Structures are given as structure tokens and as C-alpha cells.
Structure 1
Amino acid sequence: MSEVADHGVRFGRIAVMVPVKDMDKAHDFYTKVLGFTKTFENGNPVGFMILKRDQGELHLTLQPDHPTPNFNVAHMMVDDVDRLYRICQQHGARIIKRIKDQEYGLRAFVFEDPDGNRIDVGQPI
């Protein structure tokens, strides 16, 4: 195994960039269903948006021709994974992996947002 490089540079937050085909639809899902708040937008029409909730931050980028990925694009840690699972189900989000306790110490599930982006959600057991 290789050693970790330490160049004396400290990293701050790293935000996930999520490609979306319809900015309004994505905004509505993340704000009205998941409770994020828009803190910034750019362009006319809007091509970039920052959404925040608690310590979480998502950057949405308008990419109308972006192919839907078949892998998880983000991982969210929450304090009530069962509640978020029910919220996703109630709002018709496609569940890719049902909620269950994982051997790596998280209770987790995976859902798709309206653009098909897969989001992995977990809570320590």
C-alpha cells in the first residue's frame, strides 16, 4: 500500500456536483422533498445552483444531455435514515437498494433523484 501524501495543504468542504436535466424539477425535489435551501443560483436560465441543509451541500449543474449514471453519485450521512427512507418512498423516489443494516456499520439505502442520480444514504448503527 502506498503512503499518503502530506503536502501541508488542508482541505475544506468538498461539495458534490450533481448533473440535472431539468433545474426546476431538481430544485423542487431537493427543497420540497429533502428540505434543502437554495443559497445561490447563476445564469438565465439557471445553469448552476447551490443547495444546503445542515452540514450538507449539493451543487446542481444543468446538463440536459448528460447520460444517467449507473452508479452512486453522492453519499449522505443522516441522523434518521429510516425517516428519510419513508420520505423518499412517500414522494415516489425510485429505491435502488432497500434499507438494511450493512456489515460495514451503517444502516443504508440508495435512491434515485428525478434525473436518475443515485444517492447513497447512511446512518451509523
Structure 2
Amino acid sequence: MRESSPRGAAVRFGRMAPTVSVSDMAKAIDFYGSILGFTKVFENGNPVGFAILQKDGAELHLALHRGHQASACNVAHLMVEDAAALYDHLARSKVRIIKTMRDADFGLRCFVFADPDGNRIDVGQGL
């Protein structure tokens, strides 16, 4: 049996992309595309049950789960260069803000918004 290294020290990690459950794939793709500027780069199934969206260095996977119920926990953390600009854009676009923007003692300007399915996305910018 192979012994594991402490804390994964010997293993180099690459990109990690969260998968977000949605109840309506077309509505989710439209939201992330038209509001946040993501581009769909992959889809699978007929009807589409899985899609990959990308923008800059961010990647988001969407998985169709009819009857999906959102959690009270954040499902993804998005680091941005200008949290205030994104916050203002989302507010103008009437996106539901869960937690208003603040400068947190842990070194981030941050806020939380919800997608149309109620999935919570935590946004941060280093201070």
C-alpha cells in the first residue's frame, strides 16, 4: 500500500472548477453569460445536462438537477480585480445580493450574490 504524503505536499495541484447545480440549464447559461460575461465552451447531453463556462481565469461547471434546492452555503468563491465595480453592475442588473459589500478583517473586500437558482457566489478582492 502506498503511503500518502502529509497535506498533499508531494502533489502539485492544478485548476479547480466548482460544479453548480441548476434547475434550468438555459436560464443559468443566460444568467452567467449575459450578466457575468461567461462564455459556454462545452455542453453535453440532449437536453443539455452539463455545461462548462469560462471567463478570464474563471471556470464554472453547471449540472442540471431538476427540482434543485439552493443551500444556505456559498457554492463558489470568485476572486476579482474590482469587487465594487462588479457589485454595482449586479445591483443595476437586479441580481439578488445576499451579503452587502464590506472590507473584512481577513483582507478581502467581499460580498455574496445569488444566481437565479439561489446558488450563493462569494466574491472577493484582495485589499
TM-score by length of 1: 0.93
In structure 2, the residue corresponding to 1:83 is in which secondary structure? helix
Pair 1:41-2:53 in alignment: no
Report the Cα distance in structure 2 between the residues aligned to 1:101 and 1:121, rounded to whole angstroms. 12
SS in 2 for 1:68: coil
Corresponding residue to 1:89 among 88, 91, 102: 91
The Cα offsets for residues 83-106 of structure 1, whole Å up to 9 and x where unpaired, read as 100111111111110001000000
RMSD: 1.3
1:78 aligns with 2:112: no
Which of residues 39, 56, 59 is equivalent to 1:57?
Answer: 59
Percent identity among equivalent residues?
56
Aligned residue number for residue 124 of structure 2:
122
Cα distance in 2 for residues equivalent to 1:92 and 1:119: 15
Q: Return the letter of the residue paired with 2:59.
A: E
Aligned residue for 1:5, secondary structure, equals: helix
**Which stretches in structure 1 are left out of the alignment for 5+ residues?**
none
Runs ≥4 in structure 1, deviation > 3 angstroms? Answer: none
Q: For 2:8 and 2:73, how far apart are their aligned partners in 1?
A: 30
Q: TM-score, normalised by structure 2?
A: 0.92
